[in-house]
């Protein structure tokens, strides 16, 4: 079980993590929360219908990591050139973003918070490593958070396709990006085993 998720009864998953691994994942999840930003302000409406129709930003974020986490709905890599004019694509994306970005940020915030709470609960049971046991619902949150963490690190490493990932393996140990690369690859392994566990 070390380093990989395995199925447990009830549809959940378990993984053995040592103290350092717990610390790394928790730190990355906290950084992700800071990047995504705070939730609704204290003066937000108590009316759930008003919250449902609250408008978010219409412009994409400037930060490349947030751009990767909160991409435009239309256009971008893989879109058919000439099918729709660029101004129309920007208008469609802005409209879509206005009504979806707040919810998407809230989902990503919830996923990261579940990861932090699970790790804190595990760490409070004793020193050293532990076997982290997740319910089926917690597993889904973890899957979302692991994906977001990999996307964030991948954006910082400028990973855009599989060839970029292959090049990361070849970086010399002295390269300052090496620790980030190791985290990226390790999180990918965790994510892959969690996906496999949940598909069983």
Provide mean pLDDT across the span 131-144.
96
Do 7 and 13 meet the contact criterion of CB atoms below 8 Å apart?
yes
Where does the pLDDT of residue 1 fall: very low under 50, low under 70, confident under 90, or very high at 90 and above?
Answer: very low
Q: Is residue 10 exposed (0-12), middle (13-18) or buried (19+ Cβ within 10 Å)?
A: exposed
Q: Residue 117: helix, strand or coil by DSSP? A: helix
186 vs 162: CA distance, rounded Å: 16
Structure confidence at residue 51 (pLDDT): 56
CB atoms within 10 A of CB 5: 27
Structure confidence at residue 123 (pLDDT): 73
The residue count of the chain comes to: 200
Q: Using one digit for the tens of pLDDT, what is the confidence trace for 63-118?
A: 999 999 988 887 655 455 555 677 888 888 888 888 888 999 999 999 999 999 99
138 vs 63: CA distance, rounded Å: 29
How big is the CA angle at 146 (ends 199 and 39), to the nearest 5 degrees? Answer: 120
Do 125 and 1 meet the contact criterion of CB atoms below 8 Å apart?
no
* Per-domain boundaries in the chain: 6-40+64-69+101-199
25 vs 9: CA distance, rounded Å: 24
Structure confidence at residue 128 (pLDDT): 64
The pTM for the full model equals: 0.84
Structure confidence at residue 53 (pLDDT): 59
As a whole number, the mean pLDDT across the chain is 85
**pLDDT greater than 60 at residue 142:** yes
Where does the pLDDT of residue 46 fall: very low under 50, low under 70, confident under 90, or very high at 90 and above?
Answer: low
């Amino acid at each position: 079980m070390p380093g990989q998720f395995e199925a447990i009864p009830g549809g959940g998953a378990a993984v053995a993590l040592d103290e350092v691994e717990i610390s790394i994942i928790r730190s990355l999840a906290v950084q992700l929360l800071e990047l995504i930003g705070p939730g609704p302000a204290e003066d937000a409406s108590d009316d759930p219908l008003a919250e449902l129709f609250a408008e978010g930003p219409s412009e994409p974020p400037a930060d490349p990591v947030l751009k990767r986490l909160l991409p435009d709905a239309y256009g971008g890599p893989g879109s058919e050139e000439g099918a729709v004019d660029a101004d129309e694509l920007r208008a469609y994306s802005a409209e879509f973003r206005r009504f979806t970005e707040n919810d998407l940020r809230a989902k990503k915030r919830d996923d990261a918070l579940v990861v932090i709470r699970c790790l804190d609960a595990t760490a409070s049971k004793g020193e050293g490593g532990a076997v982290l046991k997740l319910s089926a619902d917690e597993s889904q949150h973890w899957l979302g958070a692991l994906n977001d963490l990999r996307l964030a690190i991948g954006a910082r490493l400028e990973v855009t396709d599989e060839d970029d990932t292959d090049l990361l393996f070849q970086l010399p140990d002295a390269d300052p990006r090496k620790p980030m690369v190791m985290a990226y690859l390790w999180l990918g392994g965790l994510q892959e085993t969690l996906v496999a566990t949940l598909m069983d």
